[in-house]
Amino acid sequence: MRRLLLVLALFGSPSPALSQQAPPGCTAPEYRQFDYWIGEWTVTDSAGTRTYGSNRITSEEAGCLIHEHWQAAGGGTGQSFNFYDRSSGRWEQIWVASGGSILRLGGKLDGASMVLEGAAPSPGGPPVLNRIAWIPQPDGRVRQLWTRSTDQGKSWQPGFDGWYRKRP
């Protein structure tokens, strides 16, 4: 009982009005813009002959978060948190890989495609700009096209071109 009183004294007790209200959730249309990526996927080249890995994309936190769980065919893994930030009006992604690399991206829906960009440090050189587009296809696949620039966005080189196919 003393511990409970100490916690309440330090942090206060929740107001009865707050404890009875449901969380606001993320129900506005902006929060649904990236839902086409949700699912269980096999990621391949465009022809479907080379498998790059698998990806499980889930909707969590009452629809406020899209959580990516990547498993590369070669054994590496990574996860990303993707969310719409209503204060900035932008989508954000934070990616962390099992090898320790971190990538922070931000952007928005461009037509039907989600396009996120961000800079990453480069050993001994200027930052590398990354642009990743998730492009929904008419047949239900999603193309992830990743390009990079080492000249502050003047030119872009291909980095990764993965085609997501839903697993049965």
Per residue in 98-157, pLDDT tens?
999 999 999 999 999 999 999 998 888 889 999 999 999 999 999 999 999 999 899 999
Q: Three-class SS of residue 63? A: coil
Per residue in 45-66, pLDDT tens?
999 999 999 999 999 999 999 9
Residue 20 has pLDDT above 70, yes or no: no
Label residue 21 by pLDDT band (50, 70, 90): low
Cβ within 8 Å of residue 74, ≥6 positions away? 53
pTM: 0.84
Per residue in 67-93, pLDDT tens?
999 999 999 999 999 999 999 999 999
What are the domain boundaries of the chain? Answer: 27-166
Residue 22 has pLDDT above 80, yes or no: no
Q: Which residues pair with 115 in a beta bridge?
A: 108, 133
Fold of 27-166: Lipocalin (2.40.128)
